């Protein structure tokens, strides 16, 4: 089966779309260290929620509430910072 030739603008359009935040997968993880128990915690990050996210989540090890500050870089890489609630 012969594939149609790729049009020159198609690759540019796809490359630009790949750089957009809303085209990135939503199953990204980030890690932080709980201030209370010292355990490294892995949390899923939903990139569709925006480039800056603040929310409270209980540590799954010690159950203390942590405020998580998530910033998503332009390349989709999450950076996470935590603090006690």
The pLDDT, as a whole number, for residue 76 is: 79
Name 9's Cβ contacts closer than 8 Å, sequence gap at least 6. Answer: none
82 has pLDDT over 70: yes
Write out the two tokens for 20.
Answer: 């957009």
Per-residue model confidence (pLDDT) at position 19? 52
Per-residue pLDDT tens over the stretch 44-65: 988 888 899 999 999 999 999 9
The strand pairing partners of 43, in sequence order, are 30
Task: Read off the pLDDT of each residue in 55-81 and give the average, rounded to a whole number.
Answer: 92
Average pLDDT, the chain: 78
**Minimum mean pLDDT among 12-16, 60-64, 71-75: which range?**
12-16
């Amino acid at each position: 089966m012969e594939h149609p030739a790729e049009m020159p603008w198609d690759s540019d359009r796809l490359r630009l779309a790949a750089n957009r935040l809303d085209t990135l997968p939503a199953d990204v993880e980030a890690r932080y260290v709980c201030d209370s128990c010292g355990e490294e915690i892995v949390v899923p990050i939903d990139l569709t929620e925006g480039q800056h996210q603040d929310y409270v989540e209980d540590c799954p090890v010690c159950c203390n509430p942590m405020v998580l500050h998530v910033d998503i870089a332009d390349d989709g890489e999450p950076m996470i910072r935590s603090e006690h609630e």
